């Protein structure tokens, strides 16, 4: 087994390399967009031509999204622009709400059901960037949904232990084989085929978590036995953490579809 530190250095190098290539792509994309804008201002195009130009614009937007995800992988320092004390429980709920359009209608149409249960402890707030951390939670939920094409259950827990904040995401999906477990955090690694998967979700998750001196571990009992991701962060607010230790409260909610 690869030593954790070696693995971390390797993933970091892959992220930085992807990010610098993405930087070049970004310059090229900007030139393409600029030229397209100029062309679109000219008159006398047929409808088909306008349609094609719009199609090119859509494709450029799509590529730009992926390029931007790649660029973020090079962002390994936590010189954070916009940090505030964040309540993870609320942010996870927001990630859940954001994920709902991805699956709700589709599952209902197929007569399948997804149950999402949250089991939240009152945890100390965490100093970080909301958008960045929400995208961690969103990506974990999205992957769990995608791992359960026939429906299933997701359980999300938050708790504190020994001055650390934990969030676990468990699904009853397809699980992971050994190769997937090893490669899951690599940029571009996907088992979904290039049409469906980009392989940029988990590399972004990993990068963000490391940026906050956190860690992420995977437990999967094997193929079709589901997966658990456990995230752990150091406590950023000692005082609040100590206060909350004495008033541990639980908050359990459950969403049901069908
Ligand atoms: P993508 O979702 O585009 O494939 P990700 O980086 O988000 O890329 O995930 C990489 C791969 O990790 C997925 O293709 C899948 O094989 C595996 N994976 C991630 N989350 C899960 C999960 N909850 N259950 C099973 N496999 C997962
Ligand atoms: Mg994904």
Note the pLDDT tens digit of each residue in 66-82: 899 899 898 877 665 68
pLDDT at 27: 93
Confidence of residue 106 (pLDDT cuts 50, 70, 90): confident
Confidence of residue 253 (pLDDT cuts 50, 70, 90): low
Q: What are phi and psi of 226, to 5 degrees?
A: 80, 175
In the predicted model, what is the mean pLDDT of residues 163-174?
95
pLDDT of 246 above 60: no
Q: Which ligand is nearest to the CA of 184?
A: 1
Give distance in angstroms: CA of 44 to centre of ligand 1: 46
* Average pLDDT of the chain to the nearest whole number: 89
Interface pTM, i.e. ipTM: 0.99
Q: Which ligand is nearest to the CA of 142?
A: 2
Protein residue with its CA nearest to atom 8 in ligand 1: 199
Angstrom distance (rounded) from CA 160 to CA 124: 8
pLDDT of 47 above 70: yes
pLDDT at 248: 59
In the predicted model, what is the mean pLDDT of residues 171-200?
91
Angstrom distance (rounded) from CA 35 to CA 222: 50
pLDDT at 247: 59
Q: Which atom of ligand 1 is nearest to the CA of 196?
A: 3
Angstrom distance (rounded) from CA 88 to CA 250: 14
pLDDT at 39: 94
Give the residue, out of 181, 202, 203, 216, with the most ligand 1 atoms within 8 A of its beta carbon, to mutate for a pocket test. 202
In the predicted model, what is the mean pLDDT of residues 162-178?
94
Comparing CA positions, the residue from 130, 52, 62 lying closest to residue 95 is 130
Q: Which atom of ligand 1 is nearest to the CA of 191?
A: 14
Over residues 22-42, the pLDDT tens digits come to 999 999 999 999 999 999 999
Q: Which atom of ligand 1 is nearest to the CA of 185?
A: 6
Angstrom distance (rounded) from CA 51 to CA 57: 10
* Percent over 90 (pLDDT), the chain: 69
pLDDT at 254: 60
Alpha carbon separation from 233 to 47, 182, 192, 240 (Å, rounded): 54, 22, 29, 15
Chain position carrying tokens 């031509």:
49
Angstrom distance (rounded) from CA 13 to CA 1: 19
Q: List the single range of 32-41, 119-128, 193-202 with lowest mean pLDDT.
A: 193-202
Q: Which residues surround ligand 2, an ion (CB under 5 A)?
A: 143, 201
Angstrom distance (rounded) from CA 133 to CA 89: 12
pLDDT at 4: 82
pLDDT of 116 above 80: yes
Chain position carrying tokens 């930085």:
16
Q: 61 or 250: which carries more pLDDT confidence?
A: 61
Q: 160 or 76: which carries more pLDDT confidence?
A: 160
Q: List the single range of 51-55, 110-114, 124-128, 192-196 with lowest mean pLDDT.
A: 192-196
Chain position carrying tokens 């996907």:
190
pLDDT at 258: 38
In the predicted model, what is the mean pLDDT of residues 110-139?
93
Give distance in angstroms: CA of 197 to centre of ligand 2: 7
pLDDT at 103: 84
Q: Which ligand is nearest to the CA of 147?
A: 1
Contact assessment for residue 202 and residue 185, using Cβ atoms and an 8 Å cutoff: yes
Q: Which atom of ligand 1 is nearest to the CA of 203?
A: 6
Q: What are phi and psi of 155, to 5 degrees?
A: -120, 125
Q: Which atom of ligand 1 is nearest to the CA of 139?
A: 7
Contact assessment for residue 174 and residue 224, using Cβ atoms and an 8 Å cutoff: yes
Ligand 1: which residues within 6 Å by Cβ? 139, 143-144, 147, 171, 173-176, 180, 184, 189-192, 197-203, 227
Q: List the single range of 97-106, 117-126, 169-178, 239-248 with lowest mean pLDDT.
A: 239-248
């Amino acid at each position: 087994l690869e030593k954790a530190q070696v693995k971390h250095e390797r993933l970091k190098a892959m992220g930085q390399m992807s990010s610098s290539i993405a930087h070049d792509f970004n310059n090229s994309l900007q030139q393409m967009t600029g030229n397209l804008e100029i062309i679109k201002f000219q008159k006398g195009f047929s409808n088909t031509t306008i349609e094609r130009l719009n199609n090119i614009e859509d494709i450029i937007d799509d590529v730009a999204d992926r390029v931007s995800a790649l660029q973020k992988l090079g962002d390994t320092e936590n010189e954070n622009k916009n940090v505030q004390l964040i309540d993870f429980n609320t942010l996870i709920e927001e990630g859940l709400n954001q994920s709902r359009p991805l699956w709700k209608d589709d599952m209902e149409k197929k007569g399948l059901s997804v149950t999402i249960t949250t089991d939240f402890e009152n945890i100390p707030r965490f100093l970080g960037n909301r958008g960045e951390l929400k995208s961690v939670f969103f990506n974990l939920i999205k992957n769990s949904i995608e791992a359960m094409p026939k429906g299933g259950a997701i359980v999300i827990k938050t708790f504190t232990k020994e001055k650390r904040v934990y969030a676990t995401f468990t699904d009853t999906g397809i699980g992971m084989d050994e190769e997937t477990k090893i490669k899951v955090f690599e940029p571009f690694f996907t088992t979904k085929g290039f049409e469906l998967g980009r392989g940029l979700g988990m590399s972004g998750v990993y990068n963000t978590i490391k940026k906050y001196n956190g860690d992420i571990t995977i437990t999967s009992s094997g193929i079709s036995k589901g997966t658990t991701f456990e995230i752990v962060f150091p406590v950023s607010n000692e005082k609040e953490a100590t206060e909350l230790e004495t008033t541990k409260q639980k908050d359990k909610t459950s969403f049901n579809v069908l």
